[in-house]
Amino acid sequence: MMLLVAGVAAAADPGDKTWSIANEILSVSVSARDAGAVCSLKHAGKELVNDHDHGRQLQVAWAYNDLDEAYNPTEAGSGPDGEGPTTTSRLVAVSVEPERISTTSHPAFWRHTKLPERHRKNTALFTNDTLTKQITLGHGGDPHVMCFETAVTVSSHLTGPEPTTIRIEAPTMYCDAALSRHWLLDLGSGVLKEAPPRKTEKDRLNVVINRVERHDAIPIVATDDGRHAVALYAPSAEGFWGSFTWAVPSDDPTNACTKITVFFKHPVEVRKTYSYRTFVVVGDLATVQASLATLRDTVPRARRDHLR
């Protein structure tokens, strides 16, 4: 799957510049503050994205060589960027068309080079690898579906050990804490079951280890009343690995959030580009179910052994 950046790419402005697209159901904004990561996703007037620090947002992040945060390009910025107005990531270009937005960037490593080497493998503040993404509203005529396409080109100009494997969240979404109900939809049977949210780091890691293998078990997060819901669906994923939801608790209401993620894991080589496509489905809970059923019937699903 090739990712084509349409339109004329304009150099990104500094500061708090934002770029937005919208249809009759959804509005999406990316910002220079977050190096092109999605800082806002609104449905029926409600903000669904938590934009608290540079590790949140609706964004792309990955880890090389199973090193987790020690070798972890992160689209929106680094850990030390905190809640600040600027990012260590490098936003190269933004292109905006009706209902489509594309960005190109060099993500920051999550850990600063001031940390001792035992805590990080990156040798620079940001990667030479290139992240390109394209977000299109209204896939297949459904205004509730957003097609999120990602491509990572692995540079031969290394900023750490040579990458051999990648585990990429393409994308991950940190939602407003009001999306506190966690559901699992079986696309085969159509049965929707409530799933207990994972609330601790230990629980989250266990979910990663015991990853969801079934392409038809789709996680959904929703508000208590079901008026707002989000699902991530990767039916044609090369090297599909798993997906999960995670409740991130906090005593600070602005810091609490819900996370929903799709993972891919596979071998990589320098000078090659790897592409991913995920559908972000947004609406009320019943509409999200219906849109997922349509995607199941209209988008071909790949076999588990289609590794890149």
In Å, how far are 3, 20, 60, 281 from 290, measured between CA atoms?
A: 27, 26, 26, 10
Q: Length of the chain, please?
A: 308
CB 51 within 8 A of CB 39: yes
- pLDDT at 205 > cutoff 60: no
Model confidence at 283, pLDDT cuts 50, 70, 90, reads very high
Cβ atoms within 10 Å of 307's Cβ, excluding its own? 13
Give tens-digit pLDDT for 1-32.
333 333 334 444 445 799 999 999 999 999 99
pLDDT (0 to 100) of residue 224: 95
Average pLDDT, the chain: 86
- pLDDT at 53 > cutoff 50: yes
**Distance from chain centroid for Cα 20:** 17
Question: Does an H or E element contain 295, and which?
Answer: helix 285-298
Nearby residues of 39 by Cβ (< 8 Å), 6 or more positions away: 18, 29, 30, 31, 33, 49, 51, 57
- Measured distance CA(153)–CA(142) in Å, rounded: 30
- Measured distance CA(283)–CA(42) in Å, rounded: 10
Concatenating the DSSP letter of every residue in 187-238 gives TTT--EEE-PPP-SHHHHHHHHHT----TTEEEEEE-TTSSSEEEEE-TT-T
What 3-state DSSP class applies to 105?
A: strand
Please name which of 127, 123, 131, 120 lies closest in space to residue 69, comparing C-alpha atoms: 120
Question: Does an H or E element contain 170, and which?
Answer: strand 165-176
Q: Which residues pair with 135 in a beta bridge?
A: 101, 148
pTM attached to this predicted model: 0.89
pLDDT (0 to 100) of residue 209: 33
